[in-house]
Structure 1
């Protein structure tokens, strides 16, 4: 049982907040992809992966077990590569809009930074898992 924050190492606090970050990203990604009617099958990847990653990270911050480290390593590695793939798809999506790679299409098209946030958060999570 969690009694207080006192005595928690930095990596444990980081893992907890990364888990909460993943849950917030889940809400945003779901709204954006729902707005686009899930036109491509790959839009389901972050909608399914981010809540699983988030719940696993929050669980690990409370109950630190070796088997959960193995599962998180696999999940975060997959999310890292999914974020890279998402960055490619979003960049391609901007170019598919009328006018191609114009400034206005970068403003109203698929957000280029959101898949990068998943990539960066996954990498940060892997670093935090193997910090000590």
Structure 2
């Protein structure tokens, strides 16, 4: 059982809340694009699970749940990097490709998947540091 609210617990709760907010944004962006690529479903499905797991873990410090959360954060880091790759490729597929700076503004947001990677890393840091 947790005693008080140490910084690890606060960071895990913050990570869960951040994943919930990112999940809403990602779902809006990917539904706007009609889920044209199968990989668009990955963050839409996994981010709410990440959020619920982190929020529950911040209130219930169960050993098995810590390991499940750790595994999910590793998956989130890898998935975020894969998403950044797909978004970068998507920018290049727009008219004018990478030479048009405008494509980075109106195309797939390259930084958003990296935010998932960063939040997953924060979750791991909070869990194991």
TM-score by length of 1: 0.94
Equivalent position of 1:10 in the other structure: 7
Q: Which runs of 4+ in 1 moved over 4 A?
A: none
Q: Which runs of 5+ in 1 are unaligned?
A: none
Q: Secondary structure at the match of 2:97?
A: coil
Which of residues 68, 73, 76 in structure 1 aligns to 2:70?
73
How many pairs does the alignment contain?
128
**1:125 counterpart = 2:126:** no
Aligned-residue offset at 1:73: 1.0
Q: In the alignment, what sits opposite 2:91?
A: 94
1:35 lines up with 2:32 in the alignment: yes
Deviation digits for residues 59-115 of structure 1, max 9, x if unmatched?
Answer: 000000100011011111111100000000000000000010111000000011100
The 2-side partners of 1:7 and 1:61 are apart by 11
Q: Counterparts of 1:15 and 1:73 in 2: how far apart (Å)?
A: 11
What RMSD over aligned residues (CA atoms) do the two structures have, in Å?
A: 1.5
Secondary structure class of the residue paired with 2:82:
helix
Match of 1:110 among 105, 108, 111: 108
TM-score computed with the length of structure 2 as normaliser: 0.96
Matching residue of 1:47: 44
Cα displacement string for residues 32-80 of structure 1 (whole angstroms, at most 9, x for unaligned residues): 0000000000000000110000000000000001000110111111111
Larger relative helix fraction:
2
Alpha-carbon distance in structure 1 between the residues aligned to 2:70 and 2:60: 16
